[in-house]
Structure 1
């Protein structure tokens, strides 16, 4: 069996593809995998680290206004379709899976034209343009959020699976996490992260909040500022007189699964996979959607989670230290409310999403 997976540009498209591939490998140990990406996307660096072969096509995303770049993207689309044709003809895959990003458009479309079973996985509550187009040609669309279903008009079967997450997210207990991170098990733990590169607006707000929470006996904060923001952040902390040892500030958390196991509450952006990991661990959150995400999809994600009672939303433009401190202190004071949010988060979690997607995708070969 040979499977092609394509999804690229950002980690939000790449890591779901890797997770699905790992699950297919567990179910079909002899399966062969080929990833398809571009030379410009992060997949160029990420995929080889996981030991999978990677082939490239030439394609570019379209701007939302007519310009020379739009014409160049149109030319690259035809180049990408030809590249995809060559890959499909040479590899003759049994199954093709797209996980979003413009790179998966040509390869999934060309596979569908060749009558090869195809499916796509959409991570966000507001689908990307490529996946909306591809839904007219594939057999199944796996939804990370139910709310995304109304945006797909094709004949594909829509299956709500949740988003695929790494298996290691579920491997750590709270007790193990507290010990590994040197945290106090008697205190509530607030985990703060703006993503792998950090988020300046969240850092700015957390600076005021952490000064106020410094030395408090009932709470501890574990804050990843992002590598590029760390030195400047620590300089500002020092200007304010520093913080007590209940405020732990790191440039980067190299073991996020352990940090999630320790968290009672998270302050996060609203990327689809980060949210899926929070929900799988039952961690309630205060979400600050990235305001420049394509089609504002992070706010759609955040609103969908908040509608279940698992999160609160503060828009980036409204974010201040006072607002974040008020939200955190309210939940620390009203433990019953925090526990209800934890239960809602746990109910929303889909820890078996990757296995479900893998099984249903493989079933397309036998149909």
Structure 2
């Protein structure tokens, strides 16, 4: 049995596709997976390292205005459809699965035109343009957020599956994680980060948090600055008289190589509102203060954050309004109100979908059976 998986441009599209690809290989022993991506996306480096067969397509994303670039991008997309159709006719996959990004358009369109079963997965509460368009052609749309469903028109079956998270997150032992970090019984861990590269606005606001929490025995703060801003952040702390050796409850890291082990010990998280991050904190049942990235396509991080706020699982602060004083006020209100944090934790856990990958694979299996394979 053979499958084609596609999705690219950013890690938000690539890593769910890789999780689905690995899941298919486990579910169907002896199966093969062919990953189709863009020559320009991160997938061209990430996917081959994951050991999957990879084909790069010459494509370009569309700009949100009429330009000569868009004419060229359209020509590349049309050429890619023809190339993918020829490939699919030879390989005859049991299903084609897309996770978003402009590479999905030609690949899924080619599959649908050949009658091959198709599924797309949408990570965000506000769907991307490519997935909204493809929903009119595919058989199934798998959703992370139920709030995304009204944006999809057409005949496709819509099923809320959630977003696959790292397997190690599903195996975390909270008490062991806390012991490994040296946390005392009853001590709260506040974890803050702005993504793998950090976020300057969050870093600036966290300086005030560090000043307010330095020396507290009941609260431990672990802030991840991102590699590029680490030295600047430490210098700012030292200028404020905060030394990590003196204040043991303040811990600053440029990057966390084992994020699941730290998330597993956290009591409150301050972070952006990317779909993968939200999937992880809800699977672990963590209350959060969400600061959506202001330049996300379609402002989708705001929509993601609002889904958690409506459920009582999070507080949202816009990046434009973010200050150290406001963040300290909101975080302080939660840290001093453990019953409220416990309520938010329950709400977050209620949104978590630890079986997201299994749900997606079940939807693929339904397509395979329907296709008579």
Provide the TM-score with structure 2 as the length reference: 0.96
* TM-aligned CA deviation for residue 153 of structure 1: 0.7
Give the Cα separation in 2 of the matches to 1:321 and 1:80. Answer: 48
Q: Match for residue 274 of structure 2?
A: 271
Candidates 266, 280, 283, aligned match of 2:283: 280
Structure-2 separation of matches of 1:97 and 1:185: 46
Match for residue 77 of structure 2?
Answer: 77
Unaligned runs of 5+ in 2: none
Residue 99 of structure 2 corresponds to 99
Map of 1:336 onto structure 2:
339
1:243-262 correspondence to structure 2 within 5 Å: 243=243, 244-262=247-265
Cα deviation per residue 1:50-89 (whole Å; 9 max; x = unaligned)? Answer: 2111111111111111112222212221222223223213
Aligned to 2:180: 180
The residue matched to 2:5 in structure 1 has which SS? strand
1:54 maps to: 54
1:275 to partner: Cα distance: 0.3
Structure 1 gap ranges (5+)? none
Write the mapping of 1:1-367 to structure 2, written as runs, cut at 5 A. Answer: 1-243=1-243, 244-367=247-370
> In the alignment, is the contact (CA less than 8 A) between 2:39 and 2:59 conserved in 1?
no
- Kindly provide the CA deviation profile for residues 290-320 of structure 1, in whole angstroms up to 9, marking residues without a partner as x: 0000000000000011100000000000000
Across the aligned residues of Structure 1 and Structure 2, the Cα RMSD in angstroms comes to 1.1
**Stretch moving more, 114-123 or 23-32:** 23-32
- Compute the displacement of 1:165 (Å): 1.2
Contact 1:96 1:119 in 2 (8 A): yes
Cα distance change on mapping 1:228 and 1:83 into 2, 3 Å: farther
How far apart are the structure 2 equivalents of 1:315 and 1:23? 36
TM-score (norm: length of structure 1): 0.98
C-alpha distance in 2 between matches for 1:87 and 1:218: 60
CA shift digits 1:84-108 (9 cap, x unpaired):
2232133221110000111111111
